[in-house]
């Protein structure tokens, strides 16, 4: 078992805090919310997190998500005003250098590919958009929408790139997860078979460090772990002509009492953390002798993290055990997980 120790409570946002994202170095993070602002936080000399910058001029409605590029030079924000803003510090201060318009309704999520050349967004308009980035060292970067993917039948809640290749996953109100990849022959983006097992809205998804596993969380109060199988697998699992298949290999049920809104897989430790509508944060660990094709996870800690819905959980990218949470209660909290075994 373990314990989750509160390090610091951060205030400043007014209304719900929807999302928070670590900079790749872990030396700063960004948060966003109902107040239409983005806050960039840095660690002061006292080891306390403080607001470095408040970005107020990018959006006209709630900001639902923020994401840093892997190079750390760009910050993207997704808003209910139907746009995505891209920020950088080429001038020395954060400035919005591009506004992406393509969705017809609220934009719910934004994510950068590992290669840095692609950006993905999703929306209440049921679509997933993929944007190609043309970097220009002197002039402003250009963003081109190269694909509009309409595989979902309802609001798309989350998009997430596989960490080792340009394969995209999306989660939706239609209870399914979709995968997308680019056809090497013609460059067109194709949709793979949907991942179906949840019985209600899939709120969020997250890959493990290898990209061969995906965790999902849902309105149905469960967490599911999906495993990728290639044609050369030794279990006899049939793969279609598109090369790989994803199978649900584990369902964590009975732990959450309300909707599970977010999930994150720690790339250093393999710990899974969830954010729930019962205000709780829960951490799960895979058993040491777990069969990768039938994994077993145990609950190692559950704490009442906030006074209202917990919306976001995010593990620190370089320091094992450090965790961010964000909530409807207007607060962001920094935690430290300590393994007591």
Encode pLDDT of 31-50 as tens digits. 999 999 999 999 988 789 99
Q: Which of 186, 121, 190, 191 is nearest to 158 (CA)?
A: 121
The pLDDT tens digits for 69-112 are: 999 999 999 999 999 999 998 778 899 999 999 999 999 999 99
Instruction: Check residue 242 and give its pLDDT.
Output: 60
Instruction: Give tens-digit pLDDT for 184-204.
Output: 888 899 999 899 999 999 999
d(CA 77, CA 138) in angstroms, rounded, equals 23
| Lowest-pLDDT range of 72-76, 235-239, 241-245, 313-317 | 241-245
pLDDT, mean of residues 162-182: 95
Give the pLDDT band (50/70/90) at residue 241. low
**pLDDT at 64 (0 to 100):** 98
Query: Three-class SS of residue 211?
Result: coil
Residue 135 has a pLDDT of: 79
Measured CA to CA, the distance from residue 181 to residue 147 in angstroms comes to 11
If you average pLDDT over every residue of the chain, what do you get?
94
Report CA torsion sign: 14, 20, 23, 28.
positive
CATH architecture of 12-259+278-305: 7 Propeller (2.130)
Percent of the chain with pLDDT over 90: 83
Residue 341 has pLDDT above 70, yes or no: no
Taking the CA atoms of residue 91, residue 146, residue 81 and residue 200 in that order, the dihedral angle to the nearest 10 degrees is: -130
> What is residue 292's predicted lDDT score, i.e. its pLDDT?
84
Residue 310 CB neighbours (<10 A): 28
Residue 131 has pLDDT above 70, yes or no: yes
Longest dimension (CA), the chain: 56
Q: Which of 136, 13, 19, 125 is nearest to 75 (CA)?
A: 19
**pLDDT (0 to 100) of residue 56:** 95
Q: What is the pLDDT of residue 239?
A: 78
CA angle, 65 as apex, 62 and 71 as ends, to 5°? 140
HSE, side-chain direction, 13 A CA sphere, residue 222: 15
What pLDDT sits at residue 233? 82
Query: Which of 179-200 are b and which e, b meaning 16 or more Cβ less than 10 Å from the residue's Cβ?
Result: bbbbeeeeeebebbebbebbee
């Amino acid at each position: 078992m373990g314990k989750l120790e509160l390090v610091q409570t951060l205030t400043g946002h007014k209304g719900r805090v929807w999302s928070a994202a670590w900079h790749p170095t872990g030396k700063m993070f960004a948060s966003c919310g109902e107040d239409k602002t983005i806050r960039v936080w840095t660690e002061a000399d006292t080891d306390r997190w403080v607001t470095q910058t408040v970005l107020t001029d990018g959006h006209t409605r709630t900001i639902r998500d923020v994401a840093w590029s892997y190079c750390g030079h760009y910050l993207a924000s997704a808003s209910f005003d139907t746009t995505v803003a891209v920020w950088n510090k080429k001038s020395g201060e954060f400035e919005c250098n591009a506004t992406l318009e393509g969705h017809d309704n609220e934009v719910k999520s934004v994510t950068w590919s590992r290669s840095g050349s692609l950006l993905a967004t999703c929306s209440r308009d049921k679509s997933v958009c993929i944007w190609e980035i043309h970097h220009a060292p002197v002039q402003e970067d250009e963003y081109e929408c190269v694909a509009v993917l309409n595989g979902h039948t309802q609001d798309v809640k989350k998009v997430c790139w596989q960490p080792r290749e340009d394969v995209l996953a999306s989660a939706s109100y239609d209870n399914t997860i979709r995968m997308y990849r680019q056809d090497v022959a013609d460059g067109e983006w194709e949709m793979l078979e949907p991942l179906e097992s949840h019985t209600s809205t899939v709120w969020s998804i997250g890959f493990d460090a290898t990209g061969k596993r995906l965790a999902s969380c849902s309105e149905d109060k469960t967490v599911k772990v999906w495993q990728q199988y290639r044609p050369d697998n030794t279990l006899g699992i049939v793969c279609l002509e598109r090369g790989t298949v994803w199978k649900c290999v584990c369902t964590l049920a009975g732990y959450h009492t309300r909707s599970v809104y977010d999930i994150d897989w720690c790339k250093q430790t393999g710990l899974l953390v969830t954010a729930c509508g019962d205000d709780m944060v829960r951490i799960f660990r895979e058993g040491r002798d777990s069969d990768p094709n039938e994994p077993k996870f145990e609950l190692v800690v559950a704490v009442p993290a906030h006074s209202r819905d917990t919306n976001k959980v995010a593990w620190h990218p370089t320091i094992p055990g450090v965790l961010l949470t964000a909530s409807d209660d207007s607060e962001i909290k920094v935690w430290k997980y300590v393994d007591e075994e």
